[in-house]
Structure formats: C-alpha cells, structure tokens
Amino acid sequence: MSKKSIITRLQSSVSRSFGAVLVFSGLCSLQAVGQGLGNTPYSTYGIGERFSDAFAAQQMMGGSGVSYANGLFINNINPALIARNRITTLEVGTLIQSKQLKEGNLQQNVVGGNLNYLAMAFPINSRWTSSLNYTPYSYLDYNNRRVSTIPGDMFSSLTEYRGSGGMNKVSFVNGVRVYKNLYAGISASYLFGTLTREVSTQTLRGDGNDYTLLFTDTDQNRNFLFKGGLAYRFKFSDKRYLNVGGTYELPTQLRTSRVSTQSALVGEIPVAGSNDTLSYNGSGRVNLPGSYRIGLSYENPYRLAVTADFSMQQWSQFRDFNRSNQNMQDSYQVSAGLEYTPNIVSSTYWNRIPYRFGVNFSQLPYSVRGQRINEASLSIGMGLPLTKVGLSDANLGLTVGQRGKEGTGIIKEQFFRINLGFTISDQWFYRQVVD
C-alpha cells in the first residue's frame, strides 16, 4: 500500500475524532506529563481546568468567604470586601498538587506546582481601597491515548490527544464602603493566554516505518471580564455580626485567533511536502458563561468566623471556537469554612495563630456516559504570624479530595494539595504629622 494511501486513511481517522473527548473511552490509557499541576484529563473540556479565585486564607476555609473579610488578608472572592483592607497589603501564593488517577486497572501518579496568585491592596481614602492582582485563570495539561483499527486496513493505529498552555488574569479591583456597613465593589480583569491541542495518529506496523499524522490547533485568547459584588454586615451585639454577600460575574466572549497545522512522518522522518498550515490567524469567539455566588457568615471579629457559600456557573451556555458546547452542563459549588484565633493580642505565639478548616462539594460541568462528575474536598490550615502585631502571616494549608468515581470509561482523581501564601501588611502612602 502506498504512503499516500495510508496517510489519507489516517487523515480520515483523525478528522472524525479531532476535538472529541476520548479521555473517558475504555480504550484510553494515562500518560504522565510534566506541566501545570500534572496530568488533568478533565481539562480537555472548555478552556481547561479552572483555578480557584480564593487566596490561601480562604482556600483553607473550603474556598468560601463571599461575605467575610477581616482586613488582615485580601478577599479575592468578593471585590466589595477589598474595602475592609485599611492598610497596604501584599500577598503571594503558590500551589503544589500530588494526584493519583485511576481507570480500571490503569493507575498514574503525578505531581505539579504553580504560582497561585500575586496581589497588592492599598487604601485610596477612608472608604475606598483598590487592588492589583495577577492570577492564573485556567490550564490545559493532558495526554490521553487509544488504540483502534484503520478503516479498510489490516493495521491498528495509536491516537494520542495532548493539551498544554493556559489562561492568565490581570485584575484591577475597587471596593467602597458605601454607607456604614454596606460595601460595593467591581473587578475589571483582562484574560489572555494560549491553548494548544494536538491529535496524532500513528500506524502500528511493527517494522519501524510507522506513519504518523499530526494535527495541531493553537488558540490565542483575550478579552475583558467584569465582576460586581455587594456585602453587608448586620451588627446584633457589641462583638457579633451576621454578614451577607454576593457577586455576579458577567459572561464574556473571548476573542480567539487560531493557527491550525498538519504534518506527517515516516518513523521519525518528516514526509516531504506534508507540512501544511490549514488556517492562519483564523478569527472566532469562545463564549464564557456568567456565574453568581451568595453567602452568609457569622463573625466575632478577630476571634471566630463561620462561613457558607453557594455558587453556580451556566456552563450550558459555553461555546468553543467551533461553536460547540462540548456537552457541558451548569455546575454548582457548596462550601463552608471556619476560622478561629484564640487571642490575637496574646503574648503567647500559638494563641495568635488563626486556625482554619473547610469543606467543599462541587458538581462539575462534565457529564460522562450520562453520569455527572462530582468533586469533594476537605481543607485545614493556619496563619503563622511573622510579626508581633499580627499584620503579616505565612499561610499554610492542606487539602485532600476526590473527583469522579471508578466506572466503565470514567477516571477517578484523588488529590492532595499544599497551599503556601505570604501576607505582608504595613502602613504605606500616609502623610506624616508633626506636632
């Protein structure tokens, strides 16, 4: 059989499956990759795996806190509550994840790490605080494969699906104390990043002359994203507050430029004339759906806080570059947390530590073989004071959880995360008074 004939049949095979989600096929197997936070098969969907908006202190509280902030850390969940930061605050955080993936008798262990956030909040006046933040928004990190027969041929083929890259977010946040205990805020963010998806199909001839056909889509995405928030603190005794808060993130359309290429190889040698740019800077749109979050919290300032949040995102309205929904469905998340500080002004170091605990349950937007994928996690952590007055902390948190469950063609992920963040606060930009 001629090279041209085999390549044509490979093209036919790949073209029918390019863009399909085969990570859940019973024939797929797991391959280790070393980017992002480790192989994440579910990142084949949408624009990849989303990072949490919460910074370290609130990640330890199950990612909850749309209604709670104490001014000692930056609340990145609700832009309204940035107004409670009355001194300049700098935060930086990292995330390390160890994960085990299982599908049938296949198993894989992966480890990865990433910068989690970099943010600075600074008061403009007695009512208004602004913040500049950099956070990763999402990432692709998967490598999945399956073996199938080539139509009209005696040989089998190996098809690999690979994804890499990610989206980043730079935000300018403003929060204002409107009246007494009423807060309002808005976050204006710019999303940008490159996502690369590859599909390669290789004949399994066994004679060292295997043919490989490679298709690559590289998407550059960018656009603005806006989120508004409100919060109110009901004071019902001298040191007791009931807080309510909510946010709404507007839907947006990412402006997308795509470069699509194909190439062919025999063994490891490129086939002459096979490299081809199928499209260059093709323009399109990716629809990101809106989301909302509401929550309640009980607060005894600088001693005890109990929080509970509910959030929902309309992923059924997602559309990719090809205007496909990818069978995504609306998702929701329920989270709750607790923060307890024995005595913030104590001379004993361990009494000044805020101890945190949280739980989280999410129904993810993925549906596999008619079965929704859920995620549950448990978090603990503490903020270790770096100064005697307690304005700067090293926040350490641990999270354990599970996503999905073992079944025919379904992958179960068990993960362990370490969150390490630093909060440094000081009086900046204030006028000195001379008696």
- Residue-range domain boundaries for the chain: 3-229+251-283+379-426
Can you give the pLDDT at residue 30?
A: 42
Please calculate the CA angle 403-332-337 and round it to the nearest 5 degrees: 80
- pLDDT exceeds cutoff 80 at 240: yes
Can you give the pLDDT at residue 410?
A: 82
- pLDDT exceeds cutoff 90 at 386: no
What pTM was computed for the model? 0.85
Can you give the pLDDT at residue 430?
A: 46
- Look at 416 and 42; give whichever has higher pLDDT: 416
- Look at 295 and 281; give whichever has higher pLDDT: 295
Residue type, 24: F
Q: What number is the average pLDDT over the span 26-55?
A: 70
What share of the chain has pLDDT > 90, as a percent?
A: 59
Q: What number is the average pLDDT over the span 53-74?
A: 95
pLDDT band at 23 (very low <50, low <70, confident <90, very high): very low
Chain-centroid distance, C-alpha 403: 14
- pLDDT exceeds cutoff 80 at 257: yes
Which two structure tokens, joined as six digits, stand for 166?
Answer: 């990610």
Q: What number is the average pLDDT over the span 4-25?
A: 44
How far is Cα 73 from Cα 84, in angstroms, rounded to an integer?
9
Of 224, 223, 225, 245, whose CA–CA distance to 234 is shortest? 245
What share of the chain has pLDDT > 70, as a percent?
A: 85
How far is Cα 112 from Cα 377, in angstroms, rounded to an integer?
18
Mean pLDDT of the chain: 85
Q: What number is the average pLDDT over the span 64-82?
A: 95
Question: Please, are residues 365 and 45 in contact by the beta-carbon 8 Å criterion?
Answer: yes
Can you give the pLDDT at residue 207?
A: 64
- pLDDT exceeds cutoff 70 at 213: yes
How far is Cα 365 from Cα 375, in angstroms, rounded to an integer?
11
